[in-house]
Amino acid sequence: MDPFPLPRIPVPALTRRAFLSALAASAPRLLASPTAPRPRADTLILLWMAGGMAQTETFDPKRYTPFEPGLDPNRVLSTFRPIDTAVDNIKISEGLERLARVMDRATLIRTNRVADIGFILHSRNQSNWHTGYAPPQTVACPHLGSVMAKTLGPKNPDLPAFVDIGQNLEIGAESDAIKAFHTAGFLGSEYGPFLIYDPNEAAAAVRPAHLSEDRFRQRYERYSRLLEAQGSAYQQESLARSLNNAHRLLSSPAAQAFDLSLEPKEIYDTYNTSRFGLGCLLARRLTEAGTRFIEVTTEYIPFRYWDTHENGHERTIALKRTIDAPISQLVLDLEERGLLDRTLIVVATEFGRDLIVEGKPEKRVKDQVTVPDRILEPKHYGMHRHFTEACSVLLFGGGVKKGFLYGQTADERPCKIVDKPVSIEDLHATLYYAMGIPPDLAYEVEKRPFHVTKDGKGKPILDLFAQV
Amino acid sequence: MRKLWPALFAIAAAGAAPRNIDFDREVRPLLAARCGSCHGGDKPQAGLAMGALADLLKGGQNGPAIVLGDSRGSLLIQRITGFKAPIMPFGGEPLSDSQIDLLRAWIDQEPAHPIDRLLHLTAAPVSDALFARRAYLDLWGLPPTPEQLTDFPSREALLDRLLADRKNYAEHWISFWNDLLRNDEGVVYHGTRQSISTWLLQALEDNLPYDRFVQALLNPTAPTDPAGFLIGVNWRGDINASQTPVMQAAQNSAQVFLGVNLKCNSCHDSFISRWKLKDAYGLASFFAETELSIYRCDMPTGEKSQPRFLFPELGGVAPDASPAERRAAAARLFTTPENTRFARTAVNRIWKRLLGSGLVEPIDEMDRPPQNPELLDWLASDFVAHHYDLKFLIRRIMTSRAYQAPTVRRLTAEQFADSISAITGEWRLLEPSKPGVATPSREWRLKSTPLTRALGRPIRDQVFTDRNHEATTLQALELANGATLSALLHRGARRLLGELPPSPQNLFDSGIVRNEKVPVDVDISGAPELRLLVVDADSYDRSRVIAGWTEAKLVGPGGATTLPDTTNLRVPSELVFPLTGKGYTRFQGTIVVDKASQQSDINPRVRFFVFDQAPDPEHLVRFGDRKEADSSLLPPSAPLRSRFGAGQAGGLSYLYQHTYARNPTPQELSIAQEFLSSGPEGLEDLLWTLFLSPEFLYLH
């Protein structure tokens, strides 16, 4: 039996129109190419560095300039020293020592160039990254995870196919923008994310949370009897079916995947750097249990976490502490369980950061942070502006090469991409490809095709995949 | 000119239902032979054409020619019998008795309601009780109370009564319009967006005629007009050329008001419809302040656009007209009675809302042939003839047997949440951000919750003309295990039992404070204790907010006592000072948000309260007396316990009537009593089973 069966590619209702048929016919061609590496992933874990992770402070270190009062900000590219990793030609920033040791399992892309959509708004760039389309759009665009849930279905029917961990949707002024892309859009709410804010509370989300198990069971038993008494053919109704599914999950052994208290203490402690860290642990458990797509976010809240508008150096020390152990441990744990080869881990962010350039070097946009002529206080020392020219993406598992570096940025400001830029479309195409989904797959909405990468134009970067 | 009313001249097809006299075979030839020479052709006498049933129903200058089911009341019969002068056919041989009898019998055999006649419908209507439940939910969004169920005059009189209630009608129908007009409450966008709720609610309360309603949306001139519709939902930053505010205005107005999809052809000529790029720009040019440059797939073409309406045969506007003149022209072209697409699109939407599916589907593709062209055209012309009166249209549809026949329609998220609140008396509160009074509120006025989002309340970034009503597992998880419904039922059960103690009112409420110092001076005479509370109100990082009280003292006739400074408290905090017997009459102090909290990533927002007893954490803000609430908006809910009487049957009957518009069966009663044996928790669980049953969730 083929250990990595290709998913059936659904081409829903695409035969109605000739031009759509042509488009559908082109879909499987990519997969049929004899020389292309085979897609191997059946699960995707997206680890989201919300707020714009500074690439020069993490995975693309440049010349280190220590803090001293009176420093010229134009001289500062990195506020951390570069460190060696398990791979000779890859250096990353200090504070990521554990990740450095697992770089021999990673493919590192340093040249993700996100869309140029002007005056920076995090939620808009995040929306763009998560759906492939920059708002506003004429239809409600689905989250990447919803597309995968819809296209590939659940791996374990007792579990939600798409789980999203760590994001509170009520975050003040950008709440509605955040809510808008945490949905399945026009694909229908069935494919939407199952949202878990606090991994420690995850067990409660799939266990009777507000009543005892006995009371919960009794309520449903009486409910079923009452419906029978009403004499309706309720079993046939989708409502009853969905409630049955919910109760099945709520009493299923698979629900134990959500329960972090079942982890050995030392493992729990390794991951327990933050809610994000525990989210990585939950992601590992859900991967083992059969969830198709899991996103764990450091959480977006304006000006918090990776959205470092001031005090960038100090805050980045703390941020790296929250991600270094859990991400590297997740890689090791999945490897140990034999799951890494078919689980693609993606560490990504909406854009990079720089101390001087806001936007792109050739198209600066309105500054949101005042940078003094001379850095006198530590709070001005760090990458405080939003940089859309380049950011880093880290991949593990799922058939990508090990210890591989892709793309290069210049060593001097404005640190432009000098080799192999990767657009969001191509990055998405690569993720879809790894999961066996053609990047020009289209779903029909309002009689027109909606492609899973923008206009179906994303091209997977086959060079990232190992030949097996 | 494009023929916009073709179906008016269509012939009513013979229906499946058995009837003695066939219109096409017997009636139409007779009318054609005896009346056709004057009442036919392009200019029929007195505006009365007689070639089709719809013509007769629509009538001419003297009103409808026939009233179905009522030959005596039909002008046609009155004229051919000479009951009303002049006798018809004018100046011709009168009809024979057998011909008159044939027409009489035909009129009398027909269903009384024109809609039913056009649908050839003879289905039996649902019971009065189910009709009442459906009517209340469709017009007010709330189920009838048992008292309202008993007070049932007649179906038509009930509809009149419900429609006459301006507030409840508006509070319910605003959600329908909010979906179409992308309007919402409690939402913020970085970019431009403007709520139109105040105007929209008033327009619904006033039953503003639909043509004037749309004119205000497309051509806002007064400061109170709904400018937000044309502004749309815009994000800051660079926008794709096909999504600029004026292009959005063109797409949305064409979709919502005319059932025309301009989305493809806002980028390039459409592959799937006849609409071209220049059509989208032509319409957008009506809303633009300056001449528009045409972009194809976000690339400039070098061409400029002029205002050009989608149906240019209806007219246009001079290329050099001012922006105000262009908007006025758009408002005119959309809403002129000659633009029959306008009325047809509206009646199709209302039809779908009330019957579950449109006469044209998909509802936004009005180019497609209607399932029943004659009915759609008649409804539209009837709507226009009655001055675009939306309540008239709704009443017209709801008086038909087509509406009153058995159906299965799911409650909307708003109907579901509001109905539960109405039955339990437990409403969500709209809390002012400034010191003030919280008011019980219907769902639409508040931010959506995980519950109402799961049930389909949309994020209105796009126009929503058709909500997704499918039952999904994620939705069921929210219903079975979600915090929102659970908390609502927890309080609701206790409120129904009269076991929810009244929440104490605060002595002081700072409103939401960011960084200002606010002095406090409150009367505490006779208070048993003093409680000083600080709670978070959506700071970015509540764990680092520090706030408290300074210069605080208790003042009385015997002098003042200074309280220690507490400006270094984490949020939330509660300080308690016993006061009994100490004679203090005033508490004075100042509230402070610590300077260390004033950082961009903390963004402190806190609220300070003073109480003289232990507060209800759910209700810190003062709340209006329930008596002050609009009694029709929020039906008072007497405690269920008072209705229990002997056994529990009385209370349960009341609950069942309110929930399902019927009494419980003996078997249901016995299961319900099993629940109630475990007190408030039991009632909470019983409510869950009642609200989750298809009988509650669907209109039957």
Percent of chain B at pLDDT > 90 equals 68
Residue-wise pLDDT tens digits, A58-71: 999 999 999 999 99
Of residues A216 and B5, more confidently modeled: A216
CA distance A196 to chain B (A): 12
Residues A178 and A123: their CA atoms lie apart, in Å, by 6
Using pLDDT thresholds of 50, 70 and 90, give the confidence band for residue B689. very high
Tokens 């975050």, located at residue: A171
The pairing of strands A343-349 and A43-49 is parallel
Instruction: Name the phi and psi angles at B609, rounded to 5.
Output: -135, 150
Strand A162-165 and strand A293-297: the pairing is parallel
Q: Cα(A392)–Cα(A424) distance, rounded to whole angstroms? A: 12
SS3 B485: helix
Chain B residues with CB under 8 Å of A218 CB are: 685
pLDDT at B105: 86
Q: b or e along A316-328 (b: 16 or more beta carbons within 10 Å of the residue's beta carbon)? A: beebbebbbbbbb
Give the DSSP letter string of A143-198.
PHHHHHHHHH--SSTTS-SEEEES--S--STTHHHHHHHSS-GGG-GGGS-EEES-
Joined tokens for residue B694: 């298809």
Q: Mean pLDDT across chain B, nearest whole number?
A: 89
Top residue of A219, A368, A379 to mutate, by most chain B CBs within 10 Å, is A219
Assigned token pair, A420: 């192999």
Q: Which two tokens stand for residue B375?
A: 């009915």
CA separation for the pair A64, A87 (Å, rounded): 20
Rounded CA separation B328/A388 (Å): 42
Chain A interface, mutation test: which of B260, B600, B670, most A Cβ atoms within 10 Å?
Answer: B600
What is the Cα Rg of chain A in Å? 23
Q: Residues near B464 by Cβ (< 8 Å), separated by ≥ 6?
A: B179, B180, B458
Provide the token pair at A51: 């707020």
- Contacts of residue B557, defined as CB under 8 A and 6 or more positions apart, other chains included, come to B583, B585
Res A181 pLDDT > 70: yes
| Band of pLDDT at residue B637, cut at 50, 70 and 90 | low
List of chain B residues whose C-beta atoms are within 8 Å of the C-beta of residue A307 = 601
Using only C-alpha atoms, chain B has a radius of gyration, in whole angstroms, of 31
* ipTM confidence score: 0.88
In chain A, which residues have their Cβ closer than 8 Å to the Cβ of B697?
239
Compute the C-alpha angle A176/A182/A188, nearest 5°. 110
Torsion, CA B222, CA B227, CA B230, CA B233, rounded to 10:
180
The CA distances from residue A337 to A256, A287, A294, A342, in Å, are 18, 11, 18, 11
Q: What's at A447, amino acid-wise?
A: K
Residue A316, pLDDT score? 98
Q: What is the pLDDT of residue B118?
A: 86
Residue B522: which residues within 8 A CB-CB, separation 6 or more?
B507, B508, B586, B587, B610
What residue of A is the nearest CA neighbor of B252?
A: A138
CB atoms within 10 A of CB A175: 19
Question: Is B190 within 8 Å of A209 when comparing Cβ atoms?
Answer: no
Using one digit for the tens of pLDDT, what is the confidence trace for A296-349? 999 999 999 999 999 999 999 999 999 999 999 999 999 999 999 999 999 999
Looking at every residue in chain A, the average pLDDT score rounds to: 90
Q: Are the C-beta atoms of residues B695 and A232 closer than 8 Å to each other?
A: yes
Question: What's the pLDDT at B85?
Answer: 86
What are the φ/ψ torsions at residue A271 (nearest 5 degrees)?
A: -80, -20
Q: What are phi and psi of B439, to 5 degrees?
A: -120, 140
State whether the Cα torsion B66-B71-B73-B79 is positive or negative.
positive
Cβ contact (<8 Å) for B688 and A223?
A: yes
Cβ(A192)–Cβ(B561) under 8 Å? no
Residue A217: CB atoms within 10 Å: 15
Contacts of A225 in chain B (CB under 8 A): 671
Is B109's pLDDT higher than 70? yes
Chain A residue nearest residue B192, CA to CA:
A136
User: B154 — contact with chain A (CB < 8 Å)?
Assistant: no
pLDDT in tens, A62-120: 999 999 999 999 999 999 999 999 999 999 999 999 999 999 999 999 999 999 999 99
- Counts of helices then strands in chain A (DSSP H, E): 13, 19
B674 shares contact with chain A (CB less than 8 Å): yes
B589, B624 Cβ separation under 8 angstroms: no
Q: Give yes or no for residue B647 having a pLDDT over 60.
A: no
Summarised one tens digit per residue, pLDDT across range A123-155 is: 999 999 999 999 999 999 999 999 999 999 989
The nearest alpha carbon in chain A to B273 belongs to: A447
User: Which DSSP letter does residue B534 get?
Assistant: E
Tell me the sheet residues that pair with A78: A64
- The pairing of strands A359-360 and A43-49 is unpaired
Answer whether B98 touches A (CB < 8 Å): no
Phi, psi of B546 (to 5 degrees): -125, 125
B693:A227 CB<8 A: yes
Does residue A240 carry a pLDDT above 90?
Answer: no
Check if the beta carbon of residue A439 is closer than 8 Å to that of residue A375: no
Distance of CA A175 to the CA centre of its chain: 19
Residue among A258, A283, A276 nearest A202 (CA): A258
CA dist., res. B315 & res. B294, Å (int): 22
Give first-to-last CA distance, chain B, whole Å: 44
Interface of B with A in 409-428 (CB under 8 A): none
CB-based contact B190 A174, cutoff 8 Å: yes
Give CA–CA dist A51/A125, Å, rounded: 10
Q: What sign does the dihedral A122-A127-A132-A134 (CA atoms) show?
A: negative
- The token pair that represents A365 in the structure block: 């946009």
